[in-house]
Amino acid sequence: MATYPAIDSTNFQFPGQTGFYKGKVRDVYLFGEKMAMVATDRLSAFDVILPKPIPQKGAILNQLAAYFLEATKDLVPNWLESVPDPNVSVGKVCVPVPVEMVIRGYLVGHSWREYNAGKRTLCGVNLPEGLKEFDAFETPIITPTTKASEGHDADISETEILKSKLVSIENYETMKKYTFLLFSKGQEMAKNRGLILADTKYEFGILDEKITLMDEIHTPDSSRYYYLDQFKENIQKRLVPKQLSKEFVRTWLMENDFMGKEGQAIPDMPQAFIEQITERYLQLFTTLTGYQPILNLEPNIVNRIEKNIFGILNSQ
């Protein structure tokens, strides 16, 4: 698996192309009202793109996102139209809403770090005293962030969002409704596969004056999963529950003195750890879906991606 080159970036020029945008992990090609989103093997953590790409990550991520977008399209309208390549999704262009909807079912990750530091209000949500790491909230909480094109996203409250008019009241209420619907479906699907979906985030845009789900959902890049059968037992034994998410990468980075803060140097990631990340992504895909993703097993991955985008453009 690791013998094949990873996709660090693409640089295509297509007929009728109207724009290009390089995100943290995706290269986006615009064609008027349509877009082709290429999932590269770049990996970001603490809102920083890490120097070394992760082989197979883009293909796994793209196919897993498509799986969940297909499974939730009857609940919430989304942007996706087709997946012409393991690394490519094609769909409608939305006007992004500058707020990411983070929803948390458990006190883990960022929420636990903030709580453990003494904070009892997170994004305007009051948290009770006496909570412990991995505790479930009585009901899931929404802790929005601003959406930064570069650098760090920042926590923000609903009151601040509406006061600053980042989102209209009507649209924000729709985003909240969709967030709870998607999270409930995601938790149900995870439970059916023996997992807990602890938290995740959703990005929305506006299409034809309606709130529409954008980007990807329920992948390890945006979600945190734990094994259901081991979760309570490990907590009782004061062991960290085994998880399937990108959090273990963040943990490794923190152990190597990196949290994305100014002046911190990104540690060199050993090849063995890179291969472990690939295996984690593959394990999450098969655990969540029950089948194997299409992997990149040929050397000319970028050429294939370009050919398949040409193909979908010519068919429209």
Residue 82 lies inside a defined structural domain of this protein: no
Position of tokens 């006190």? 107
Chain centre distance of CA 303: 26
pLDDT band of 242, cuts 50, 70, 90: confident
pLDDT band of 31, cuts 50, 70, 90: very high
CA torsion 143-148-151-157 (nearest 10°) is -30
Residue 287 lies inside a defined structural domain of this protein: no
Segment 288-298, tens digit of pLDDT: 999 999 999 88
Q: Tell me the CATH number at 111.
A: 3.30.470.20
Residue 257 lies inside a defined structural domain of this protein: no
Residue 237 lies inside a defined structural domain of this protein: yes
Share of the chain above pLDDT 90, in %: 81
Give the pLDDT mean for 88-99.
Answer: 97
pLDDT at 198: 96
Cα–Cα distance for residue pair 10/25, rounded to 1 Å: 11
pLDDT band of 150, cuts 50, 70, 90: low
Residue 150 lies inside a defined structural domain of this protein: yes
Query: Quick one: which of 219, 199, 223 has its CA closest to 281?
Result: 219
Residue 214 lies inside a defined structural domain of this protein: yes
Task: Please report, for the chain, how many H helices and E strands are present, in that order.
Answer: 8, 16
DSSP 3-state of 290: coil
pLDDT at 123: 97
Give the pLDDT mean for 86-105.
Answer: 97
Cα–Cα distance for residue pair 66/13, rounded to 1 Å: 25
Share of the chain above pLDDT 70, in %: 97
Domain count, the chain: 1
pLDDT at 170: 98
Cα–Cα distance for residue pair 237/245, rounded to 1 Å: 22
Cα–Cα distance for residue pair 151/47, rounded to 1 Å: 6
pLDDT at 152: 60
- pLDDT higher than 80, residue 3: no
Lowest mean pLDDT, pick from 24-33, 43-52, 117-126, 130-139: 43-52
Give the pLDDT mean for 115-128.
Answer: 97
Give the pLDDT mean for 25-46.
Answer: 95
Residue 169 lies inside a defined structural domain of this protein: yes
pLDDT at 309: 97
Segment 182-197, tens digit of pLDDT: 999 999 999 999 999 9
pLDDT at 299: 84
Give the pLDDT mean for 142-157.
Answer: 82
In our burial notation (b when 16+ CB lie closer than 10 A, e otherwise), range 301-311 reads bbebbbebbee
Residue 256 lies inside a defined structural domain of this protein: no
pLDDT band of 43, cuts 50, 70, 90: very high
Full domain range(s) for residue 189: 96-245
